[in-house]
Amino acid sequence: MTNDPHWLFESWLAEAMKQELNDPTAMALATATPDGEPTVRMVLLKGHDARGFVFYTNMDSRKGGELAANPRAALLFHWKSLRRQVRIEGSVGPVSDAEADAYFASRARDSQLGAWASDQSRPLPSRALFEDRYAEVKERFERKKVPRPPRWSGYRVIPDRIEFWSDRPHRLHERRLFVLEADGWSEGLLYP
């Protein structure tokens, strides 16, 4: 057993990368509107270390607006094939420009172009309009490096609670809860 939740997460993620059939880095991201209405969607984990859990998006998207108004979020990883899940709660902050630039540069060119063409989460009058915008962006950056759009970056969820849930027979599950305190992580168990 370890008392370092980041080490334990890395261990579980490594197992998921070997066994989970589709998107082992997929996580549900829950945010809240300024009025406290919860919203949730799936995003992909693009980095993790002792500083937190990183994902990228259009900052003008619905989630970006919600995080600007209320910089707290919850994440959920569910690895069905392993019968495990990890719940994470914490504050949210931006990644550095250097981190965002490096990740954006690693994306497939079509994904880079799509980031320029999309007004993520905004109403779209027709699919044809988006496809036309994509074609215009593709032409604009033909034979050029695609820079990161100014409205596109990453967020880091800085955890203060991490729960590791393991399925057990007869719903007698194991739940390990790590809570960040002034002197580091404390660990306890929760009833199933």
* The pLDDT value given to residue 87: 98
Closest CA to 179 of 73, 88, 75: 88
User: Whole-model pTM above 0.85?
Assistant: yes
pLDDT digits (tens, 9 = 90+) for 87-110: 999 999 999 999 999 999 999 999
Distances (CA, A) of 29 to 24, 92, 135, 155, 162: 15, 11, 31, 11, 14
Distances (CA, A) of 80 to 15, 47, 74, 84, 111: 12, 21, 19, 6, 28
String of DSSP letters for 101-126: HHHHHHS-HHHHHHHHH--TTS--S-
* The pLDDT value given to residue 21: 83
Cα distance from N-terminal residue to C-terminal residue, the chain: 19
| Angstrom distance (rounded) from CA 110 to CA 27 | 23
Residues identified as active-site: 171
Domains, the chain: 5-98+154-190 (2.30.110.10)
* The pLDDT value given to residue 109: 97
Report, as ranges of residue numbers, the positions in the chain whose pLDDT lies below 50: none
* The pLDDT value given to residue 2: 67
* The pLDDT value given to residue 1: 58
